[in-house]
Structure 1
Amino acid sequence: MPESTARRPRRHGGAITDVAGIEVGHFTDARRPTGCSVVLTRAGAVAGVDVRGAAPGTRETDLLAPENLVDRVHAITLAGGSAWGLDAASGVMRWLEERGVGFDVRVGRLPIVPAAVLFDILVGDAAIRPDAAAGYAACEAASTRRPAEGNVGAGAGAAVGKIFGIDRAMKGGIGTASVTVDGVTVGALIACNALGDVVDPDTAQVIAGARTPNGNKLFDTRRALLRGVAPKPLLAGTNTTIGVIATDAVITKVQARKLAQMAHDGLARSINPVHTMSDGDTLFSLGTGASGKTLGMMTLGTLFAEATARAVVNAVRAAQGLRIGALHLPSAADLAAAR
């Protein structure tokens, strides 16, 4: 299924697991390209969320509003499978409950596990999607090691650049990166299944996305739309970039919400167009407080956006090309090698 690829450009360094208190695990379904990824914070972490896409698939996001009661979560689940994939979070809850992790409700421990999903069911058999067993398996695989990137977990069936049809799209994936300033680390894990193109913010060059009609080159969606090229009719919600940005800084729940908002600046720098009517772009923020420090919101917000943009770029640079049936999704490395 994955094609051999040429030498890849150097990816950004670091990982979300550089943040103390964070573990990551993937489950990738062997039957078709789909899966789920879990970010565990067993000791609990202050959390926030910001949903910018118009077609989200989410679970337990209302409780993250600053005015609501619960101020800590124990995991975040990212999954393929569209709304069906939200079932993966049930398996994460079961895994945590078995280990005594959760919010004390006197009669037991209730794990708080928000989740978001992306639409990957055009790739292979749509009846196969992440379920509770997949979420449980992702937890079993979790560790503090650098997570695998590309065609794994929630990024297994991801594609980017579908605005002119999936037959002209490219392979998306999942990526991670981190940034450290003055003893405070911010790391991101992003599953990129965007409608738009992925752009390297450092060079402003499109690196993956919609291809020309012959499929051999990048089309550059932004410039094509500005020329008046019409997109294909789109089914709402058939895309979406989702992710988690974590820090070991000490933050409040109000700050967590604001940092999730600022992290979307990283999506805007690395995906174009972004936050569309056919995307459910959702980013979660986590603060473990393990460093005992804070940098102030100006610097933290900058780091959240930077880690997000770098993780998006890593997601498509780590991806491998995919052939499944008549569908061909080349990777960024495939197109670069063909030039």
Structure 2
Amino acid sequence: MAQTAPPSAIGGAITAVPGIKVGHFTEARRPTGCTVILTEEGATAGVDVRGAAPGTRETDLLNPANLVEKVHAILLSGGSAFGLEAATGVVRWLEERGIGYPAGPARVPIVPAAILFDLTVGDHRIRPDAAAGYAACEAARAEAPAEGSVGAGTGATVGKLFGMARAMKGGIGTASLKVGAITVGAIVAVNAVGDVIDPATGTVVAGARDAEGRRPVGATAAVLRGELPAAMQAGMATTIGVVATDAALTKAQCQRLAGAAHDGLARSIDPIHTMSDGDTVFALSTGKAGLPGNMMALGAIVPHVMAAAVLRAVRAARGIEPSPPGVSELG
């Protein structure tokens, strides 16, 4: 069951997993937005938070020891903590359709969420709100979603270890892989302090550039040579994403799957899980394959799929207009 193709050769989208839809809202007034991953029939979920500056909603609910078994959507948003408001719009959209956890006379939609920091790009007073989350749901489809500078990846940047003037554009990417009867997919908004690395070659695909802005320098290599990072406020970055499978998993297994997805981030982003990142990955199991998940196999596959989504995010990204001083798109 091993996947021998490098992450750069993995295509597809998280919507290849039956039971998953994705919708973007891209803010026209400044580079920001949000992305919703809909599971209208409900999906078992887990989460793993590894960054030191996370911004999240309803992650405690996903603890295997806690009550609710299924979620109805996951929201990824720009706008820092303000962007969590977009989840309210997702809840409203689901409630209008009678989707949610039975609670007395109501059905309460369960919508965990995570945000990334993009407030330094454009007017920080403009950020995803409830209307943005609702619009993302309206746009959700089972077809492969757009990638790059859309949705939660609109204002994303990478390679910020030496300041925004030497950064490059990040974005949102997705990938999937079918092994036997099981499908695994990932979607990720890449807004990292670190560089994006092709794990097959070790090459910096997008990241901190030299002082002249001509080429990536390799952030970690520069630190090892003695170049000190810029002073950064905690929470100035963050990579957030979702992995999903149609295998039937428990909440505890989903939590482990989210942890395995972080291995994919560690292979493709360097450095990762810093004090200025709030890196968070959710895992979803729709169970549509009707088969139990082999956690050994899934743990081997998921990092490849997540790393592929990271590479696709920056390769599809486009420059910001007007761009912050020095921020460059890939290529």
TM-score bracket relative to the smaller structure: over 0.9
1:6 alignment partner in structure 2: none
Matches within 5 A, 1:95-114: 95-114=93-112
Code of the residue aligned with 1:127 in structure 2: it is: R
- Please tell me the root mean square deviation across aligned C-alpha atoms, in Å: 1.0
1:186 alignment partner in structure 2: 184
Percent sequence identity over aligned pairs = 62
Matches of 1:325 and 1:317, distance apart in 2? 18
Code of the residue aligned with 1:177 in structure 2: it is: A
Code of the residue aligned with 2:300 in structure 1: it is: T
Matches within 5 A, 1:268-287: 268-287=266-285
Q: Which of 40, 58, 71 is the equivalent residue of 2:69?
A: 71
Matches of 1:21 and 1:328, distance apart in 2? 41
Q: Secondary structure at the match of 1:36?
A: strand
1:294 aligns with 2:292: yes
**Could you say if the C-alpha distance between residues 11 and 166 of structure 1 is closer, same or farther in structure 2, counting changes exceeding 3 Å?**
farther
Matches of 2:158 and 2:9, distance apart in 1? 18
Compute the displacement of 1:295 (Å): 4.3
CA contact (8 A) 1:245 1:308 kept: yes
CA contact (8 A) 1:81 1:120 kept: yes
Matches of 1:71 and 1:98, distance apart in 2? 21
Code of the residue aligned with 1:263 in structure 2: it is: A
Matches of 1:238 and 1:295, distance apart in 2? 36
CA contact (8 A) 1:322 1:328 kept: no
Matches of 1:267 and 1:139, distance apart in 2? 27
- Of residues 202-211 and 110-119 in structure 1, the stretch that sits farther from structure 2 once superposed is 202-211
In structure 2, the gaps of 5 or more residues are 1-7
Q: Which of 228, 231, 238 is the equivalent residue of 2:229?
A: 231
Q: Secondary structure at the match of 1:235?
A: coil
In structure 1, the gaps of 5 or more residues are 1-9, 335-339
Code of the residue aligned with 1:304 in structure 2: it is: V
Matches of 1:158 and 1:152, distance apart in 2? 9
CA contact (8 A) 1:323 1:329 kept: no
Matches within 5 A, 1:1-339: 12-324=10-322, 326-332=324-330, 334=331
| TM-score when normalising by structure 1 | 0.94
CA contact (8 A) 1:123 1:324 kept: no
Compute the displacement of 1:304 (Å): 1.6
Matches of 1:201 and 1:37, distance apart in 2? 26
Code of the residue aligned with 1:102 in structure 2: it is: G
CA contact (8 A) 1:12 1:314 kept: no
Q: Deviations over 1:229-288 (max 9, x none)?
A: 100101100000000100000111110111111110000000000000000000000000
CA contact (8 A) 1:60 1:115 kept: yes
Q: Secondary structure at the match of 1:135?
A: helix
CA contact (8 A) 2:10 2:177 kept: no
Q: Secondary structure at the match of 1:211?
A: coil
Matches of 1:221 and 1:84, distance apart in 2? 30
Code of the residue aligned with 1:151 in structure 2: it is: S
CA contact (8 A) 1:176 1:315 kept: yes
Matches of 1:155 and 1:253, distance apart in 2? 28
2:4 alignment partner in structure 1: none
Matches of 2:309 and 2:254, distance apart in 1? 19
Matches of 2:324 and 2:151, distance apart in 1? 23
Q: Deviations over 1:14-52 (max 9, x none)?
A: 100000000000000000000000000000000000000
Q: Secondary structure at the match of 1:217?
A: coil
**Runs of 4 or more above 6 Å deviation:** none
CA contact (8 A) 1:184 1:294 kept: no
Matches of 2:246 and 2:10, distance apart in 1? 20
